[in-house]
Amino acid sequence: ETGVTQSPTHLIKTRGQQVTLRCSSQSGHNTVSWYQQALGQGPQFIFQYYREEENGRGNFPPRFSGLQFPNYSSELNVNALELDDSALYLCASSLDGMETQYFGPGTRLLVL
Amino acid sequence: DAKTTQPPSMDCAEGRAANLPCNHSTISGNEYVYWYRQIHSQGPQYIIHGLKNNETNEMASLIITEDRKSSTLILPHATLRDTAVYYCIVVKSGTSYGKLTFGQGTILTVHP
């Protein structure tokens, strides 16, 4: 059984740029949720994708967008990067959107 | 979803039981209690969840009071590798669209 993987592990961007983060879900899971974790804080829910459609969204602006592919892997896209977007971005996979979620190791994004 | 209150930090000696409390006095009848932990620089890890009965798995036990207003996560024989931030989350199963609301959690330090 393959766990949740994320790429890249680290990324440095400058303000105004765009970034794409990738996530491969655990085998057998059809749902991916994305979270942002600022330093010293708990993860904050961005959105969830279930069967290739957005299925719930947290309090994040539209410049945060995503995709889910037929193999249930997912991308998080952030446009017009701001300094406050610097954080650890976590994805989690689950079956049918359930709350038992399995997290990847995260992508650490630094915006300069 | 009901709000949870946890102590900011706790200590435990290696080999002893770690008892982590969580207050969720506004929990409603169809809300579950979930526990996750996050070891430094890793993604959160699912531990256990329950509705009203006590639950046990290979990682921990979850004790929920009869009125369901509080719960305790028990790590029966803590090891140094259990040092982590522990999050107690209350959520209505199946309706949350995968949204886990993480608070500040409890920093558990296991010392030799």
Q: With bands split at pLDDT 50, 70 and 90, how would you rate the model's confidence at B1?
A: low
Question: CB distance A55–B97 less than 8 Å?
Answer: yes
> Which tokens hold the place of B70?
């509080």
- The pLDDT tens digits for A30-82 are 999 999 999 999 999 999 999 899 988 999 999 999 999 999 999 999 999 99
Nearest residue of A to residue B103 by CA position?
A: A42
**B12, B47, B77, B89, B102 from B4: Cα distances, Å:** 22, 17, 25, 7, 9
Instruction: Please identify which residue in the block is written with the tokens 């669209």.
Output: B97
Query: Residues of B with CB below 8 A from A100's CB?
Result: 34, 46, 49
Question: CB distance B46–A105 less than 8 Å?
Answer: no
Question: CB distance B102–A104 less than 8 Å?
Answer: no
Tell me which residue of B104, B60, B71 sits closest to B86, measured CA to CA: B104
Question: CB distance A92–B49 less than 8 Å?
Answer: no
Query: What pLDDT is stored for residue A84 in this prediction?
Result: 97
Residue B45's contacts (CB-CB under 8 Å, 6 or more residues apart) are: A103, B36, B37, B38, B39
- The pLDDT tens digits for B7-42 are 999 999 999 999 999 999 999 888 999 999 999 989
Per-residue three-class SS string for A53-74: EEEEECCCCCCEEEEECCCCCE
Facing A99 at nearest CB: one of B34, B87, B104: B34
